[in-house]
Structure 1
């Protein structure tokens, strides 16, 4: 009976040890598994150690900014008349019985004249007059010349009220979305944003896009404040969109957080990405096994791999070693892109620790079962 108990204990111990060794929990593949898998002939991924040349090849120029057409556009005259504007006219005639004034009245008020789609207005006895593109003073002179041939020494006053034509549309993360007239205080991008209540998103990750006809330009809000040249002059019909950065990367493995992580700055490095999720897990992470998984364009992948036969996006795995002398610098200079996956492997001793823990627990379990049999 004693022999049977020993035999049972030994059998249970072997079974539990075998099971524990084969099913240890972990957050993902080990470093050597990734490296060995990529070396297989059927592998469709390329593993590339990080270097200065890789950093240079993968760096992408900023896609934000305004073209010369936006930057070189001068300030629009604050009183320039546009189609859709509303005008108020007052006409004085130097006679008792004038063309427009009623008997005994010295002036005639023509209020609420709408500038039509062709930019014209109609004034009695003066006919259709081109108003768009002129200032109120220029339009006053034109109307005066037209009426002077029919009534002696007419005096004309023109007042512009910003209407549907001289406006811009603002939408997105702004204090007050809507349609705003272009007036003297709001002729530039920054002043118009202030007029609309200011940006309501996080300033450090807010992008501003201006659409003007077929042209579109985008900048970061922080750059608008830092560079006065980006405070472009607005034009009637401009559409301004304010939105928070939607880019994100995935963090996995022995990091402080495993999640989809939004970008916290316009340009995020690998070091920024690691820091943004709480850094490497102390006691778990392998600082030589930091991987960045990415679908890289064929031209960039070809430049890195020295190949000209690649077609389509390539699966690239970039390896960072923070223990190398230049590792921190490379991590600080390597740009993370939207959709990247940052994965940190566990240190080799962690698996040993888990194995020993599993073995100790397995033997204890076997002993307990043996005691039950006893």
Structure 2
């Protein structure tokens, strides 16, 4: 073989060796973090030594106690935020109310009676200043009064003018006691509350009911500057959440299907709808088509979510929660804290535990790839690189 040819062979061997070294040092393309990378990214891992990238959360392996705690912990509640109330409180007269004031007298020739009639009915509309006019009484401030107190006020004012007067005050139109219902209902309405208290479910019924399934419909209640959203299904299932509404409450009904996102080595990825009121982790795994047996790591099934504070404390304990807060764990805009739950599918009991672990709306379910997958990818790249180097050596050209 000629010297130039030997020189080319030596160059090819050096090129091939350099290629392998470069491939060995490169980062193998991945499909998300490995199991140990997720675990080490928790509050006790080394991933948070750089303050600029710090996001504090805990990584918790699901067992029966944790599954029971999460499943039993109360979720967002109207009763917790606003109280249950009772009959909407004592009803009072307000601006815009239309009253019918009937005045009786004992004599046949009184101010409000004749030989034919012993009474006179006077319509009264409560004016913006809260007052209404009654003949021979003058201006009466009705706003803020109960029906009984309004009656007593008028009777006292007429005792020196009418013959043994008696008074009945009736509410003809209770315009001041209303609640607005908007959004995904069959008939957006201003619903009058009347003198009796109404529950949220009754007000929604008067607005034609929700137009979508209750397990995909949220009811938002705004009262005195505070707002809380609750799944309509929760109101149906938990009577305590079917609280009494109050005048000037605002109710907005919105259709927002419950979904979770499946990522990683699941057979199906993307946003997946519950299509049910509740969903367990086992059911969610089934909806995602299970795991890819060739690439998935059964020890790395993770649920990423923001959890309510009371649930977080129940899961990790008060001392651990305070420690996480002291280290910088912060809530989202709704006061919930980040947490990652881990399920080890290599353990037989996990399939039982997962039946009792609830998936929540907007959860992210991630199935990590097995570490051997990266090695297989690397060997595939190495094999491709070796073949290319061999072709160069054999033919003396890259193409």
Same fold by TM-score greater than 0.5: yes
Shift of 1:280: 2.5
Answering whether residue 179 of structure 2 is matched by residue 168 of structure 1, we say: yes
Answering whether residue 227 of structure 2 is matched by residue 238 of structure 1, we say: no
Indicate the residue corresponding to 1:74 in structure 2.
Answer: 87
Answering whether residue 30 of structure 2 is matched by residue 26 of structure 1, we say: yes
CA distance in 1, matches of 2:347, 2:47: 27
More displaced, 38-47 or 201-210? 38-47
Answering whether residue 354 of structure 2 is matched by residue 350 of structure 1, we say: no
Indicate the residue corresponding to 1:192 in structure 2.
Answer: 203
More displaced, 15-24 or 284-293? 15-24
Offset from partner CA, 1:230-252 (integer Å, 9 cap, x none)? 44443333333434569987654
Offset from partner CA, 1:246-303 (integer Å, 9 cap, x none)? 9987654223466577887776654455455444234321111223457887966864
Offset from partner CA, 1:33-78 (integer Å, 9 cap, x none)? 556787998454765544345546767433425259854613779x
Q: Is the 8 A contact 2:86 2:197 kept in 1?
A: no
2:99 alignment partner, one of 87, 99, 121: 87
CA distance in 2, matches of 1:69, 1:293: 29
- In the alignment, structure 2 segments of 5+ residues that lack a partner are 49-56, 330-337
Indicate the residue corresponding to 2:54 in structure 1.
Answer: none
Offset from partner CA, 1:76-101 (integer Å, 9 cap, x none)? 79xx6621212245779999997579
CA distance in 2, matches of 1:340, 1:173: 24
Indicate the residue corresponding to 1:114 in structure 2.
Answer: 126
Q: Is the 8 A contact 1:76 1:234 kept in 2?
A: no
* 2:291 match: secondary structure: coil
Shift of 1:191: 2.0
With structure 1 as the length reference, what TM-score do the two structures score?
A: 0.69
Residue 213 to residue 46, structure 1, CA distance change in 2 (3 Å): closer
Residue 264 to residue 181, structure 1, CA distance change in 2 (3 Å): same
Answering whether residue 232 of structure 2 is matched by residue 208 of structure 1, we say: no
Offset from partner CA, 1:305-346 (integer Å, 9 cap, x none)? 979865245586543211201112333444567886543221
* 2:147 match: secondary structure: coil
More displaced, 89-98 or 189-198? 89-98
Q: Is the 8 A contact 1:82 1:115 kept in 2?
A: no
Q: Is the 8 A contact 1:57 1:304 kept in 2?
A: no
Q: Is the 8 A contact 1:66 1:219 kept in 2?
A: no
Shift of 1:167: 0.9
CA distance in 2, matches of 1:220, 1:211: 15
With structure 2 as the length reference, what TM-score do the two structures score?
A: 0.66
CA distance in 2, matches of 1:300, 1:229: 22
* 2:79 match: secondary structure: coil
Equivalent residues, number: 368
1:327 alignment partner, one of 341, 346, 350: 350
Shift of 1:211: 5.0
CA distance in 2, matches of 1:17, 1:216: 61
Answering whether residue 133 of structure 2 is matched by residue 133 of structure 1, we say: no
Residue 50 to residue 10, structure 1, CA distance change in 2 (3 Å): farther
Answering whether residue 298 of structure 2 is matched by residue 287 of structure 1, we say: yes
Residue 304 to residue 188, structure 1, CA distance change in 2 (3 Å): closer
Q: Is the 8 A contact 2:137 2:158 kept in 1?
A: yes
CA distance in 1, matches of 2:248, 2:79: 17
Shift of 1:364: 3.6
What's the Cα RMSD here? 5.2
Residue 93 to residue 25, structure 1, CA distance change in 2 (3 Å): same
More displaced, 339-348 or 295-304? 295-304
* 2:86 match: secondary structure: coil
More displaced, 343-352 or 308-317? 308-317
More displaced, 140-149 or 341-350? 140-149
Indicate the residue corresponding to 1:371 in structure 2.
Answer: 395
